[in-house]
C-alpha cells in the first residue's frame, strides 16, 4: 500500500481534532498534539 503524504490520519488530526499532526501505526491512528511531524 502506498503511503500518502500527508497521510489521511495526519490531515484528520489537524482538521478535526485540532492536533498538530498524527501518526499511523498499523491500522490505528494516533494524533500528536506536541509535534507537527507527520511520522
**Of residues 19, 21, 27, 28, the one with CA closest to residue 5:** 21
**Eight-class DSSP state of 3:** P
pLDDT band for 20, please (50, 70, 90 cuts): confident
Which residues lie closer than 8 Å to 10 by C-beta, 6 or more apart?
A: 21, 22, 23, 38
What pLDDT score was predicted for residue 36? 58
Domain borders along the chain are 1-39
Give yes or no for residue 2 having a pLDDT over 50. Answer: no
> Bridge partners of 25?
28
Amino acid at each position: 500500500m502506498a503511503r500518502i503524504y500527508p497521510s489521511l490520519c495526519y490531515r484528520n488530526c489537524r482538521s478535526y481534532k485540532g492536533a498538530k499532526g498524527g501518526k499511523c501505526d498499523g491500522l490505528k491512528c494516533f494524533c500528536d498534539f506536541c509535534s507537527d511531524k507527520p511520522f
